[in-house]
Every structure is written in C-alpha cells, then in structure tokens.
C-alpha cells in the first residue's frame, strides 16, 4: 500500500515537472516570437519613409477655419447685397483658408514643400478675409472690438471654447452684423496664429528630418545594410 502511494506521488511529481517544462517551453517560444515581431517592427520602421499624419479634420486650426467659412457664408448672404462682388471674394477667401489646410495636410505624406506652400496660402487667404471684415466695419461706422471694449474678453473666451464648436450655427442667427464680424475677426486671429506656429513646426521638421527624397534614400540604404548584415 505504501509502495503504491509512493508510486502515485512520483507519477504526480513527474507530471507536474512535465507540465512546468511544457509551460516554460511555450513561454520561451512566445518570448522568441515577441522578440522576432519587435525586430520585424523595428526593421519596418527603419525602412519607412512615408510619415504618418493625423487626419486634417482633427486639427484645431482646420476646425476653426471651417467655422470661419460657415459664418462668412451666412454673413455675406445676410448683410451684403445681391451682386456685390465682395460676397464672392469673402466666401472664396474663407474657402481657400479651409481647403488649403486640408490639402496641405494631405500632401504632407509625399511633399514637405507642397505642405508648407499650401499652409502658407491658407494663412494668406484668411488674412485677406480679415481685411474684408475690418473694411466692412470701418465704412459702416461700426466698432471693431479692441482690448478696451466691454465685450472683448467675453468674445475671446467664447471663440476659444468648446461651446462655440457645438452651437455657433445657432448662435450667429441671434447676432447682428457688428457682433458676427467681430467674432469672425477673433477667430481669424486665432487661426492665423495657429498656422504661423504650424509653419514653424514644418520648417523645423524639414531641417531635422529632410524631405521625401532624403527619407527614401535613407530607407533604401538602411534596407540594403540590413540585407548585407542581417545579424546587426
């Protein structure tokens, strides 16, 4: 009886050892696979020359530019006369600001030069639109709200808020032309500031990372070196 118990205990110990060995073997295999996957991922990153970019609709500056376009369309059709050439000029300037941000972002994958050029066109278009709003206020004897205006701070806060993103389409229908023009002027200042900063970032990225041709050459060189020296 004691001998049988001893044999059973030995069998259980052997199975436990085998299970542990099998688990350890599987774990080692999994670790090896993970290392290989990481190496493959690192190799792929070394050979990647098309940079990933977020979608332009996620850019805050694009979101602001889209609001500027919507407000400008409403403003011009409500407060400028039918047949007034300024209507088309302002709407086109607002559209150019929005579209060139989008196109510049999309072009960034293959051309830093095109990205910078289109982003600068967007900034110039919005600055042109700014002049049109300021002209509208001046020739009609309306106020451009400066830092001393009692509603200036509140307007700036609203222009930066998430509330604006959600309800601007409803809010502008309650505004008169002076209020709407000053809101758009504030938003344009925000957008052109963000575009200025974006252009500085693009310039720095180009200097440090180079353009597409340089990245293509570097990726090809890295791949050939890896093929010639696979263990390194």
Question: How far, in Å, CA of 129 to CA of 161, rounded?
Answer: 22
Name the average pLDDT for the chain. 80
pLDDT at 98 over 90: yes
140 vs 18: which has the higher pLDDT: 140
| pLDDT, position 32 | 45
- Picking from 121, 122, 115, the residue whose alpha carbon sits closest to that of residue 212 is 115
- Going from N- to C-terminal start, the domains of the chain cover 2-47, 56-212
Q: How much of the chain is in helix, strand and coil states, percent to nearest 5?
A: 85, 0, 15
pLDDT digits (tens, 9 = 90+) for 145-171: 999 999 999 999 999 999 999 999 999
**Full-prediction pTM beyond 0.75?**
no
Q: Are the C-beta atoms of 164 and 158 separated by less than 8 Å?
A: yes
Per residue in 60-81, pLDDT (tens digit) is: 999 999 999 999 999 999 999 8
């Amino acid at each position: 009886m004691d001998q049988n118990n001893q044999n059973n205990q030995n069998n259980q110990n052997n199975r436990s050892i085998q299970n542990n060995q099998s688990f350890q073997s599987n774990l080692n295999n999994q670790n090896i696979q993970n290392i290989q996957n990481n190496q493959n991922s690192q190799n792929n990153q070394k050979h990647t020359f098309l940079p990933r970019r977020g979608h332009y609709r996620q850019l805050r500056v694009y979101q602001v530019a889209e609001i500027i376009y919507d407000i400008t369309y409403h403003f011009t059709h409500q407060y400028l006369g039918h047949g007034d050439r300024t209507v088309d000029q302002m709407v086109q300037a607002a559209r150019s600001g929005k579209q060139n941000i989008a196109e510049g972002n999309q072009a960034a994958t293959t051309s830093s030069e095109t990205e910078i050029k289109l982003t600068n066109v967007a900034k110039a278009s919005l600055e042109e639109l700014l002049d049109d709003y300021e002209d509208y206020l001046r020739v009609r004897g309306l106020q451009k709200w400066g830092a001393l205006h009692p509603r200036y701070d509140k307007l700036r806060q609203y222009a930066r808020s998430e509330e604006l993103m959600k309800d601007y389409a409803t809010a502008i229908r309650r505004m008169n032309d002076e209020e709407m023009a000053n809101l758009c002027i504030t938003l344009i200042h925000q957008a052109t500031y963000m575009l200025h900063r974006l252009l500085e970032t693009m310039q720095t990225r180009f200097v440090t990372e180079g353009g597409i041709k340089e990245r293509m050459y570097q990726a090809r060189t890295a791949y050939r070196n890896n093929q010639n020296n696979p263990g390194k």
